[in-house]
A and B are shown apart, each in its own frame.
Chain A
Amino acid sequence: MHLVLTSRILGILLMIFSLAMLPPILVAWIYGDGGMQAFTIAFGINVIAGFFLWFPARRYRKELSVRDGFLVTLMFWLVLALFGSFPLMLSEQPGLSFTDAFFESLSGLTTTGATVITGLDTLPHAILFYRQQLQWLGGMGIIVLAVAILPMLGIGGMQLYRAETPGPMKDSKLTPRITETAKALWYIYLSLTVACAFGYWIAGMSGFDAICHSFATVAIGGFSTHDASIGYFDSQAIELICVFFMVISAINFSLHFVSWRRNTLFYYWKDPETRFFLAILIAAILVTGITLAASQALPESEAWRRAIFEVVSVATTTGFGVDDFSTWPTYLPFLLFSMAFIGGCAGSTGGGMKVIRILLVIKQGLREIRRLLHPSAVIPIKIGRKPVPDRVIEAVWGFFSVYIITFIGLQILLLMTGLDMVTAWSAVGACMNNLGPGLGAVAANYGEINDMAKWILSAAMLLGRLEVFTVLVLFIPDFWER
């Protein structure tokens, strides 16, 4: 355990993060509708705080151990969320309380997209831009976290993507060094963002909206600059572009990398996780579309249009809206919401439990059934014709159960604060899966619920984003022993 080292890293991180205050300052200067002062102060606080964390430890050089990795990863989100909340508190509009500002900031950095703010359309541009930028930066962190760091820590079966990777990513460490990998992924992330923004702009968004929404789309975040979210634009072209980029961003970024390197789309088709992901997306769209059309609440073409958008938005855990799906007929709200538990593919910006884990859990279940039929059979679990080591299956099972238990625990805590059943269930689900909007009282935003609940939900976002174990390991006494 090297606390001094951790503090040095966080200090550097904070100083770099302070640069994130500069673009909003620029935006405030262009539009001249306020926020300039708040961001300038926040910039100062960040630089100074970062400097004081870094300065005493600046000469301390040592290799990071795996244990430090857990702590740094958690602190990364926690410290950035804390310091990132300053502009939201300092600015006259929206003028959030500390609790609300922290919730909003963490929601952005974890790409959850749950908001406590109403009346987005009247906020200063700088604040709006800053929220989107938080998601974008968070998404970038997640990609590196998911592709480079989590496999190294071996969390919840993600070592699968380290050595024993099935399918195309034989050498799953894309390039030999983490920094190189991170750089390559950053390029892909940036190109996707640029492409997405350009698409939005062509399809009719203003330049500001196009950039802001591309940030939230590629990061699978879900923040918008309008209360009505994507529905504000009421444009089928924009919705389709959005759907396309949500799906792309929910696919493993290693696949993007390999496909781009080798210049072929073949790997997408070969990857069992991607195939399974697309299959469940299509199945859910069909079921939702048919039900919506049959219920006659909407004209048929409109029903399909909304079904496609909402299913993709919720299943990828983005959380953009064109319609309030919590008011859809019968089982649809629950079905869509359950899709968020599956979430995106491993190594993507998507949340949820990740498609590969669900796939493995299903296969494990089928294996148990087959074992009942053939008690003496030796049945391996295979992904794409490659056997998966039992150690990985165990890790996935462990993750699955801890995820569920944590979920139930958090829900009980929420119920204690006085929320109703549906709100509590969906709020934990929406935050832990990094989805955003929930059902019941949190269908649109989280402004109405009590402060205690917001803190609990902040924990849920962090737990979900960091794959539960990264956070839980810090609560084990052994972790702190020297």
Chain B
Amino acid sequence: MKIIILGAGQVGGTLAANLASEDKDITVVDLDAGRLKDLQSKLDISTTQGMGCHPNVLKQAGAEDADMLIAVTNSDEINMVACQVAYTMFRTPKKIARVRSSNYTNLKDSLFKSEAFPIDDVISPEKAVTNHVKRLLQYPDALQVLDFADKKVQLVAVKTRKGGLLVGHELKDIREHMPNIDTRVAAIFRKDSPIIPQGDTIIQEDDEVFFIAARSHIRDVMSEMRELEGSYKRVTIAGGGNIGERLAKDIEDMYRVRLIERNYDRCEYLSNTLHKTIVLHGDASNQELLLEENIEETDVFCALTNEDEANIMSCLLAKRLGARKVMALINNPAYVDLVQGGAIDVAISPQNSTIGSVLSKIRRGDVVNAHSLRRGAAEAIEAIAHGDKRSSKVVGRAIEDIKLPEGTTIGAIVRDDEVIIAHHDTVIEQNDHVILFLVDKRKVPEVERLFQPSFMFF
């Protein structure tokens, strides 16, 4: 598969790295030759220097036989025009663009179609990150919460702690604890190595457990894994950039939000557009400011500036001053492992969120949803089972009979509007949405093949 990525910034770079590791042919286009050189020295990709929306540059990048164009430059307009050019000049089959401004995205349906701007999928990394943080606020105990099948089913990552009813017990005991609630533990990571859960697996403290359950059951299951925290009320956000603004706007009706921003003009803008949030002018690493604003009463402190180091330091400070939970936005993957689980409770990795939204578009036809987990090492996939018993390797078979690649579990099935938590004897029917968990993402192609109906029998 040949993919052209426009923009070698944060998002473009991460996408390139992720996709290159999946044996895709990647060409990255950017104006900045230095950045391209950096990328090329790390990754097995080709690069083209130039303006991403110019036809000759696209041609040079190989647009004529590209399968996909991913436009993630900083400018909405360049991204949109690039898609238009690719469509008109090169008939590129799939075009994905990052569009930030709500002025465009609000008119998504009328604007992004082949007569206007032929964009197949619009992605917004800020929105993805905002949703991620929002979900974390909603479920205080989770490390990550992912939606499947129109939010009917959720996959939750949680760190086990003392006080969880199941900690120190075998996995199958969960049925005795909660006879009415169906859940499936998809994977357990203990000291960063995966364990495929069996009925007799004993849950230990500090395990990272991924489980799947219907949305309404999430809290109950979580209480099996750890003592639940109370819900959050007071949220302090450090950094009023795109992400900070968006998050504050989204949550200001539900929480009491404070937003700290360094730039005074930006503060004025924010205070005019946000209605309940208290906008504070100052530095998030200023101890006096934090104390003045009762940091010790804060439930969650989110550092969302675009400087990793500043985020980490202000989080450490906030934690020491008494904030209940601190989250830091961290771009550099090397830092994520360094700080998560230490003094910083949650490291939010924007790449994970962004890549998740692109992944499902890259996966073969029957995969409708894909989420990157654990910094891209693992993956959760929602695939539709097509075909019938003869043409498909999954339809009409019980789960225990399906030849799943190693390290892959089926967590749940959504049939019409019904959520079925998978058991070994559950039989998959036609058009079921199957939610799978892959401990190792290198197995993705195998899963894709599994869900592709074969036509050999015809």
A374 adjacent to chain B (CB < 8 Å): yes
A380 & B292 in contact (Cβ 8 Å cutoff): no
B257 adjacent to chain A (CB < 8 Å): no
B275 & A376 in contact (Cβ 8 Å cutoff): no
Which B residues touch A376, using CB under 8 A?
Answer: 280-282, 289, 292-293
B426 adjacent to chain A (CB < 8 Å): no
Report how far A377 CA is from B272 CA in the complex, Å: 12
Residue from the list B267, B275, B279, B292 in contact with A382, Cβ < 8 A: B275
B38 adjacent to chain A (CB < 8 Å): no
B278 & A377 in contact (Cβ 8 Å cutoff): yes
Closest A residue, CB atoms, query B289: A376
Q: Considering the complex, which residues of chain A in the window 337-395 have a beta carbon less than 8 Å from any beta carbon of chain B?
A: 370, 374-380, 382, 385, 387
Residue from the list B268, B270, B293 in contact with A374, Cβ < 8 A: B293
Q: Considering the complex, which residues of chain A in the window 377-423 have a beta carbon less than 8 Å from any beta carbon of chain B?
A: 377-380, 382, 385, 387
A377 & B275 in contact (Cβ 8 Å cutoff): no
Closest A residue, CB atoms, query B286: A376
Which A residues touch B104, using CB under 8 A?
Answer: none
| A-contact 0/1 string along B246-268, CB 8 Å cutoff | 00000000000000000010011
A379 & B271 in contact (Cβ 8 Å cutoff): yes
Closest A residue, CB atoms, query B292: A375
Report how far A45 CA is from B355 CA in the complex, Å: 87
CB distance from B280 to the nearest CB of A (A): 5
Report how far A394 CA is from B76 CA in the complex, Å: 40
CB distance from A167 to the nearest CB of B (A): 15
Report how far A374 CA is from B292 CA in the complex, Å: 7
| B-contact 0/1 string along A168-179, CB 8 Å cutoff | 000000000000
Report how far A423 CA is from B264 CA in the complex, Å: 52
A380 & B278 in contact (Cβ 8 Å cutoff): no
Which A residues touch B292, using CB under 8 A?
Answer: 374-376
A378 & B289 in contact (Cβ 8 Å cutoff): no
B278 & A374 in contact (Cβ 8 Å cutoff): yes
CB distance from A109 to the nearest CB of B (A): 42
Report how far A377 CA is from B271 CA in the complex, Å: 9
Report how far A387 CA is from B268 CA in the complex, Å: 10
CB distance from A184 to the nearest CB of B (A): 32
Which B residues touch A382, using CB under 8 A?
Answer: 272, 275
B268 & A377 in contact (Cβ 8 Å cutoff): no
CB distance from A383 to the nearest CB of B (A): 12
CB distance from A239 to the nearest CB of B (A): 41
Report how far A377 CA is from B257 CA in the complex, Å: 12
A380 & B272 in contact (Cβ 8 Å cutoff): yes
A378 & B293 in contact (Cβ 8 Å cutoff): no
Report how far A375 CA is from B271 CA in the complex, Å: 15
Which B residues touch A374, using CB under 8 A?
Answer: 278, 280, 292-293
A378 & B281 in contact (Cβ 8 Å cutoff): yes
Closest A residue, CB atoms, query B280: A376
B268 & A378 in contact (Cβ 8 Å cutoff): yes
CB distance from A376 to the nearest CB of B (A): 5
Kindly name the residue among A370, A377, A380, A385 whose own CB sees the greatest number of chain B CB atoms within 10 A. Answer: A377
A378 & B264 in contact (Cβ 8 Å cutoff): yes
Report how far A379 CA is from B278 CA in the complex, Å: 7
B275 & A385 in contact (Cβ 8 Å cutoff): yes
Report how far A387 CA is from B270 CA in the complex, Å: 11
Which B residues touch A380, using CB under 8 A?
Answer: 268, 271-272
B272 & A387 in contact (Cβ 8 Å cutoff): yes
Which A residues touch B279, using CB under 8 A?
Answer: 377-379
Closest A residue, CB atoms, query B272: A387
Which A residues touch B280, using CB under 8 A?
Answer: 374, 376-378
Report how far A382 CA is from B275 CA in the complex, Å: 9
CB distance from B254 to the nearest CB of A (A): 18
B275 & A378 in contact (Cβ 8 Å cutoff): no
Report how far A385 CA is from B252 CA in the complex, Å: 14
Closest B residue, CB atoms, query A385: B275
Which B residues touch A379, using CB under 8 A?
Answer: 271, 278-279
Which A residues touch B268, using CB under 8 A?
Answer: 378, 380
Report how far A110 CA is from B376 CA in the complex, Å: 76
Report how far A27 CA is from B226 CA in the complex, Å: 91
Which A residues touch B282, using CB under 8 A?
Answer: 376
CB distance from A168 to the nearest CB of B (A): 18
CB distance from B350 to the nearest CB of A (A): 27
Closest B residue, CB atoms, query A386: B272
Report how far A318 CA is from B228 CA in the complex, Å: 62
Closest A residue, CB atoms, query B264: A378
Which B residues touch A370, using CB under 8 A?
Answer: 278
Report how far A377 CA is from B240 CA in the complex, Å: 13
Report how far A347 CA is from B72 CA in the complex, Å: 51
Report how far A417 CA is from B395 CA in the complex, Å: 102
Closest B residue, CB atoms, query A387: B272
CB distance from A382 to the nearest CB of B (A): 7
Which B residues touch A378, using CB under 8 A?
Answer: 264, 267-268, 270-271, 279-281
CB distance from B282 to the nearest CB of A (A): 5
CB distance from B148 to the nearest CB of A (A): 36
Which B residues touch A375, using CB under 8 A?
Answer: 292
Closest B residue, CB atoms, query A370: B278
Which B residues touch A385, using CB under 8 A?
Answer: 275
| A-contact 0/1 string along B5-21, CB 8 Å cutoff | 00000000000000000
Kindly name the residue among A376, A379, A380 whose own CB sees the greatest number of chain B CB atoms within 10 A. Answer: A376
CB distance from A3 to the nearest CB of B (A): 45
Which B residues touch A377, using CB under 8 A?
Answer: 271, 278-281
Which A residues touch B264, using CB under 8 A?
Answer: 378
CB distance from A368 to the nearest CB of B (A): 15
Closest A residue, CB atoms, query B275: A385
Report how far A385 CA is from B292 CA in the complex, Å: 27
Report how far A131 CA is from B261 CA in the complex, Å: 61
Which A residues touch B271, using CB under 8 A?
Answer: 377-380, 387
Which B residues touch A387, using CB under 8 A?
Answer: 271-272
Report how far A58 CA is from B293 CA in the complex, Å: 68
Report how far A377 CA is from B275 CA in the complex, Å: 13
Report how far A382 CA is from B276 CA in the complex, Å: 11
Which A residues touch B267, using CB under 8 A?
Answer: 378
CB distance from A30 to the nearest CB of B (A): 60
CB distance from B252 to the nearest CB of A (A): 13
CB distance from B31 to the nearest CB of A (A): 35
Closest B residue, CB atoms, query A380: B271
Closest A residue, CB atoms, query B293: A374
Report how far A194 CA is from B142 CA in the complex, Å: 68
Report how far A377 CA is from B261 CA in the complex, Å: 10
CB distance from B297 to the nearest CB of A (A): 13
Report how far A370 CA is from B275 CA in the complex, Å: 14
Closest B residue, CB atoms, query A379: B271
CB distance from B284 to the nearest CB of A (A): 11
Q: Considering the complex, which residues of chain A in the window 320-336 have a beta carbon less than 8 Å from any beta carbon of chain B?
A: none
Report how far A79 CA is from B268 CA in the complex, Å: 48
CB distance from A246 to the nearest CB of B (A): 34
Which A residues touch B272, using CB under 8 A?
Answer: 380, 382, 387
Kindly name the residue among A379, A380, A382, A387 whose own CB sees the greatest number of chain B CB atoms within 10 A. Answer: A380
CB distance from A224 to the nearest CB of B (A): 46
Q: Considering the complex, which residues of chain B in the window 77-118 have a beta carbon less than 8 Å from any beta carbon of chain A?
A: none
Report how far A374 CA is from B288 CA in the complex, Å: 12
CB distance from B263 to the nearest CB of A (A): 11
Report how far A370 CA is from B279 CA in the complex, Å: 12
Report how far A382 CA is from B272 CA in the complex, Å: 8
CB distance from B445 to the nearest CB of A (A): 51
Q: Considering the complex, which residues of chain B in the window 267-308 have a beta carbon less than 8 Å from any beta carbon of chain A?
A: 267-268, 270-272, 275, 278-282, 289, 292-293
A374-B278, A376-B293, A378-B279 given; 9 more Cβ-contact pairs under 8 Å: A374-B292, A375-B292, A376-B292, A377-B271, A378-B270, A378-B271, A380-B268, A382-B272, A385-B275
* 22 pairs from A and B in contact (CB 8 Å cutoff): A370-B278, A374-B278, A374-B280, A374-B293, A376-B281, A376-B282, A376-B289, A376-B292, A377-B271, A377-B281, A378-B267, A378-B268, A378-B271, A378-B280, A378-B281, A379-B278, A380-B271, A380-B272, A382-B275, A385-B275, A387-B271, A387-B272
Q: Which 8 pairs of residues, A with B, have the shortest CB-CB distance?
A: A378-B267, A387-B272, A378-B271, A376-B280, A376-B282, A378-B279, A380-B271, A377-B280
